[in-house]
Amino acid sequence: MRSLILVSNRLPIKLNSNGSLERTTGGLASALEGAGLDDNYTWVGWGGSSPSKGTKTDEFLEQMRKLGVEPVLLSDEEVNGYYEGYSNSTLWPLLHYMTERARFQPEWIRYYRQVNEKFADTILNIAAPGATIWIHDYHLMLLPKILRQRRPDLKIGFFLHTPFPSSEVFRALPERDELLKGMLGCDLIGFHTYNYLRHFISSLIRILGQEADVDGLQYRNRRIQLGVHPIGHNHHGFKKAAKSDIFQQTYKTHREQLEDDKLILSVERLDYTKGVPQKLDAIRHFLETHPEQANKVYFVLIAVPSRRGVEEYDNLTEEVQCAVSSINGTFGEVGHAPVQFLHRSFALEELAALYALADVCMVTPTVDGMNLVAKEFIDCKRDSHRARPGALILSEFAGAAQEMSHALLVNPHDTVGVANTIQIALDMEQEEMEARVQAMQKRLDLNHAGAWAKRYLTDLENASQELPCSNEEQPLLDISKQLHQELNNGKKLALFIDYDGTLRPFTAKPEDATPNEELKNLLQQLGEHPQIEVAIVSGRPRAFMEKHLGDLPLHLVAEHGFYWKLRDMDDWELLNEHVDTTWKETVLPHLEAATALTPGSEVEEKNSALVWHYRQADPEFALWRAKGLLSELTSTTASLPVSVHHGQKIIEVASQLVNKGVAVERMLQLWHPRIAVTAGDDVTDETMFACPTFENSVLHSLKIGEGDTRANQRTTIQGLRNLLESLVSERHTL
């Protein structure tokens, strides 16, 4: 295992009343404890405080480091802008589908960037070569990219503890592109559920135009793994708690108080995502429809205070307190209040005792990334805890619902439905309760917090490293050196270059992808070089190439090799006069049908090929349609003399006797260059990369961008441009 650095917004540190610092055992700390790491890691984060007056910064840092943590020091302005502002007032509500609560202040993102840079500085000061960095949660979405740019040797993982919303919601964020690109600095990105992963992939294609599969994507010459890693609860902590004196005393006290009454327990942080007002509406409806239960049940709502002093949270607290008072005033009796609202935190040992005693646990958030309360309740329903039988009512909008199908799943917005489910839970036979609990416990035993951390870190360790690649920051030095050497020795060089996605980027409308003056000037100078033959080998029709490149000293190949026009030709000619195109009448109806069903798509008919373009269509729907069309065409054309290609936002059906490789091979036979370079970005360029060499010639192949390839080198559009410009510069220096 590489040296590990764990990174989260807050450190597991508590400031005691005497001013001393103490390390706490929160969820993440417990998870790592269960992963068997033996404290062989450093924790980086904000300590929640700054050095007290009279304490020197160096002394404060030393005190922190003795606890195995490396603090990031933040000013009050940074805390307000980065944490209270962008993280909690912009990202938190947006990630939980509450766009109406999200606030957008331009200065907040500046603090968010600034603090993410601070975290990077702290990490890089202590990170050994090849260290593993595990980053947690939405506060640090920019951090992976910053680390990747400054230290590409690091193994970087990111885990999101909240939901990732649908792309329609995430697109409301002004900085959506920046945050997605920040996350793509990782080797592994983990989510609680498949739905969150699916939403992330949807955002990638809709916002960045970046396609991905459920297991990963290729991005900037790296393979990024995507994974579903549902977090577990602190099994070891609750097992230990059940043996404590506090547990025993709490259990005894409340067991005697309950006698034969029923305890319906709710535990959550008081946040607007937890659905507490909706829960109270359901409780009121339950008591209205089952008045005989009013003096037989105790609804105990433990709500841990959250963000005191923030107006909307203070308003939520007041709303909940008023609702509780109203219910108790209506249904309470002397000596018995059906709802007890406990607005404070409880020790783990006390919670374990309450879980063991509860007849029902209500976990009904309106949206929640996972929710470990549901798992803790089920885990505490064991004979070793002297637990009473119990039933779990769980919101279908909690991440835990995907794992805990034996719970009573409810829609928290359905007041009547939740109220009816409370009665179903109270009426459930003990045998059924135990069967449901045991089924869920089997899964929890395999997926507690320690197992979760261990699996994630193993997946991160096994995540693929950077793909062999060249880019603009690391020029194609070896090829460039060899080309210059051969030119200096008077040898001939041949360049076979694709156009779209190779010499210039794609555009939304293909007709807009015309060469600018800079590119035309470069091609002019290359074509005038006495030792270089330059051929533009494109899928474009000959009319486009004639109009935009016909005045340059170049060899032109159109429609992937159906037509060509060498420099000594007066007009365009067929490379192969025997190509059969009668198949088009069979294929064209399939493409027209796909166009009719896919707004924004269109069919382009060439002499040798038919092309279905979907660059301007809805990206997810069009990709789904393209995969279906590809399968359909593969079956339909099995006996026809054609090949079917899925390229960059296109599906092309072309004659088998027509391909770029045939054209390049013919030109190599004509010119006999000492060295040749083929460059392209698409599956249609692969036939160029596979061309055989002749005599003592050397052929280099360059793949522009990502994807599987036969090419022996990768680069980018800019990387290729740099190489071509160096050839022009070489001529001027001779």
Catalytic (active-site) positions: 498
573 forms beta bridges with: 564
Residue for token pair 């803790």: 376
Query: Taking the CB of residue 523, how many other CB atoms lie within 10 A of it?
Result: 22
Query: Taking the CB of residue 290, how many other CB atoms lie within 10 A of it?
Result: 16
State how far Cα 364 lies from the chain centre: 26
Contacts of 515 (CB under 8 A, 6+ apart): 503, 504, 523, 548, 549
Which stretches of 308-407 are DSSP H helices?
311-331, 348-357, 373-379
Query: Taking the CB of residue 493, how many other CB atoms lie within 10 A of it?
Result: 21
User: In the structure encoding, which two tokens stand for residue 703, read together?
Assistant: 């793949």
Query: Taking the CB of residue 715, how many other CB atoms lie within 10 A of it?
Result: 26
Helices (H) and strands (E) in the chain, counts: 26, 28
533 forms beta bridges with: 494
Instruction: Tell me the C-alpha distance between 234 and 240, whole Å.
Output: 10
Residue of 407, 339, 421, 422 lying closest to 373 (CA atoms): 407
User: In the structure encoding, which two tokens stand for residue 257, read together?
Assistant: 């108080």
Answer yes or no: are the C-beta atoms of 418 and 410 closer than 8 Å.
yes
Instruction: Tell me the C-alpha distance between 502 and 716, whole Å.
Output: 8
Instruction: Tell me the C-alpha distance between 135 and 132, whole Å.
Output: 10
User: In the structure encoding, which two tokens stand for residue 653, read together?
Assistant: 């059906």
CB-neighbour burial class of residue 256 (10 A; exposed 0-12, middle 13-18, buried 19+): exposed
Instruction: Tell me the C-alpha distance between 141 and 133, whole Å.
Output: 13
Residue of 609, 607, 693, 599 lying closest to 652 (CA atoms): 609
Half-sphere exposure of 123 (CA within 13 A, CB side): 35
User: In the structure encoding, which two tokens stand for residue 276, read together?
Assistant: 């507490």
Most distant CA pair in the chain: distance in Å? Answer: 106
Answer yes or no: are the C-beta atoms of 553 and 522 closer than 8 Å.
no
Instruction: Tell me the C-alpha distance between 497 and 723, whole Å.
Output: 12
Orientation of helix 348-357 relative to helix 245-258, angle to 10°: 40
Given CA atoms 483, 484, 489, 492 in this order, what sign does their dihedral have?
Answer: positive
Given CA atoms 112, 117, 118, 123 in this order, what sign does their dihedral have?
Answer: positive
Q: What is each CA distance from 637 to 469, 481, 653, in whole angstroms?
A: 35, 45, 9
Residue of 159, 122, 188, 185 lying closest to 32 (CA atoms): 159
Orientation of helix 143-150 relative to helix 176-183, angle to 10°: 50
Q: What is each CA distance from 139 to 61, 233, 295, in whole angstroms?
A: 22, 22, 45
Phi, psi of 321 (to 5 degrees): -60, -40
Amino acid making up residue 59: E
